[in-house]
Amino acid sequence: MEYVSTRGSTPALGFEDVLLSGLARDGGLFVPAHWPSLETAEMRALSDLDYAAIAARIIRPFIDVDVLDDNALAHLTRDTYEWFDHPDVAPLRQIDDDTWLLELFHGPTLAFKDFALQLLGRLFEHVLDRRDARITIVGATSGDTGSAAIEACRDRSNLDIFMLHPDGRVSEVQRRQMTTVIADNVYNIALGGTFDDCQDLVKALFADHALRDELGLSAVNSINWARVMGQIAYYFAAAARLAVPDEALTFVVPTGNFGNVYSAYVARQMGLPISRLVVASNRNDILYRFFANGEMSILGVEPSLSPSMDIQVSSNFERLIFDLMDRDGAAVDAAIRAFRADGVLPDAAALCDGARGLFEGQRVDDAETLDVIRDVHAQTGVLLDPHTAVGVGAARKTPRDGLKRVVLATAHPAKFPDAVEQATGLRPALPMHLSDLLTHPEEATAIDNEFDAVRDFVRAHAVAAW
Ligand SMILES: *Cc1c(COP(=O)(O)O)cnc(C)c1O
């Protein structure tokens, strides 16, 4: 498989280079040059397979056999998902007549990001071994990404990971899931600034091309194609268990950076019958306004009960725009530049028309989120985390069409105990394997919000030698 940039001015690359470089040099995101597809009979056959085997089948066309042969791929997905805490890996749970939760929080850090990042860590190791190379991963996190990335990269011999989080601005559980990982190749940086400052510093590190080459800088955020790739399989797995391909499904996806719901779009491009994709937003509703009104304009980010969705500019949306613009990279480049400069996406109405047949936006605010958590608990005994509750709230706002609906449960309720307690009076307990999280020693380095200070720290500690 070859990959092209959404901005159209980087030569096509193979999977290994796409994995290691993250962002394209022209500033675009990599997407496959064409969409592979599955025959109906192949989709039907998925219902005989376990999760790891389904993942291997779905990932197969995206990685050339000379990079990873069938055996190695099967071994890799098996090793990735056998550590998950549930025999089904991504179990379904029915919550009313036509609605199921797809529980994606049985991985090591209790959020759906483990599905792609656990795979990504192993792919990095495999590809770097083949090339006898090292890389330096730098990332910024406001919570879930950081812990999932650190857990996926810890103790891997050919990479170092530096994760910046805003000092004092992430929840205690989220911070401890990062800072209690004591490993030679893991560096937690507590930055004296906001999440945006962290992101700006990471971008500045990547923009320093000399440093980028010297240290082999690489990204694990959801702009990396392998993140998207690692999230496609659970849509097929859910459909296989709910008797598709004979029946189309609606998926409802709590959305921030548009990565997860974009993976659903890819599943549909590969042939999975999906009738509708509901993009569920919290009060940070730029995507809702796009799908409802055909306009896209940036407002300030406001904190909500579902912090992993507190995003205005969803980076993966560029991948959808690329298809909506008939894969015209120059046009995407011009549109994104105008959007960044003016805060308004030009010709959004035409793009929206192209997307509306499949996508629908819904907005669920904090008060509604708490109501949903309370209601679902009262009716079913199930505790929802606030992100999943935004999804269930969005499903309730979407007119019923007689089809089965699957809401993605993106985090374990114990990861956001305050919101759950506020709604129900119950404080969900952490699963056994994390029960001593609150007593483990922590390790992090406090650094001022200054480019030179961060760059010097990274350079001094990265043992990269390309
Ligand atoms: C990251 C995250 C989201 C948003 O996912 P995107 O792929 O960024 O749209 C939703 N819920 C939880 C719990 C998350 O960690």
Cα of 153 from ligand 1 centre, angstroms: 19
Ligand 1 atom closest to Cα of residue 258: 9
Tokens linked to 178: 């990062």
Cα of 71 from ligand 1 centre, angstroms: 31
Cα of 40 from ligand 1 centre, angstroms: 30
Topology of the domain covering 92-108+226-424: Rossmann fold (3.40.50)
Widest Cα–Cα separation across the chain = 59
Evaluate whether 265 touches 320 at the Cβ level (below 8 Å): yes
Answer whether 256 contacts ligand 1 (Cβ < 6 A).
yes
In 5-86, which ranges are continuous DSSP H helix?
A: 15-21, 40-45, 51-59, 70-81
Answer whether 260 contacts ligand 1 (Cβ < 6 A).
yes
Ligand 1 pocket: which of 279, 310, 410 to mutate (most atoms <8 Å of CB)?
410
Name the E strands within 232-352: 249-254, 274-281
- Among all residues, which ones are annotated catalytic? 113
Answer whether 255 contacts ligand 1 (Cβ < 6 A).
yes
Q: What pTM was estimated for this model as a whole?
A: 0.95
The pLDDT of residue 195 is 83
The pLDDT of residue 22 is 79
| H or E stretch covering 96 | strand 92-96
Answer whether 254 contacts ligand 1 (Cβ < 6 A).
yes
Based on the number of CB atoms within 10 Å of its own CB, is 25 exposed (0-12), middle (13-18) or buried (19 or more)? middle
Cα of 204 from ligand 1 centre, angstroms: 24
Ligand 1 atom closest to Cα of residue 255: 9
First to last CA, the chain: 26
CA dist 71 → 57, 76, 290 (Å): 12, 9, 44
Query: If you take atom 1 of ligand 1, which residue's CA is the nearest one?
Result: 308
The pLDDT of residue 466 is 46
CA dist 387 → 141, 151, 206, 319, 454 (Å): 17, 21, 30, 23, 32
Q: pLDDT tens across 353-378, in order?
A: 999 999 999 999 999 999 999 999 99
The pLDDT of residue 220 is 86
Rounded distance between C-alpha atoms, residue 232 and residue 402, angstroms:
24
The pLDDT of residue 465 is 45
Cα of 65 from ligand 1 centre, angstroms: 31
Cα of 111 from ligand 1 centre, angstroms: 8
Query: If you take atom 8 of ligand 1, which residue's CA is the nearest one?
Result: 257
Ligand 1 atom closest to Cα of residue 261: 9
Answer whether 221 contacts ligand 1 (Cβ < 6 A).
no
Which residues of the chain fall short of a pLDDT of 70? 244-245, 463-466
Going by their DSSP bridges, the two strands 3-5 and 30-32 should be labelled as antiparallel
Evaluate whether 220 touches 154 at the Cβ level (below 8 Å): no
Backbone angles phi, psi at 426, to 5 degrees: -105, 140
Evaluate whether 30 touches 3 at the Cβ level (below 8 Å): yes
Q: pLDDT tens across 162-206, in order?
A: 999 999 888 888 899 999 999 999 999 999 998 888 988 998 998
Q: Where are the domains of the chain?
A: 92-108+226-424
The pLDDT of residue 171 is 85
Answer whether 5 contacts ligand 1 (Cβ < 6 A).
no
Rounded distance between C-alpha atoms, residue 60 and residue 178, angstroms:
31
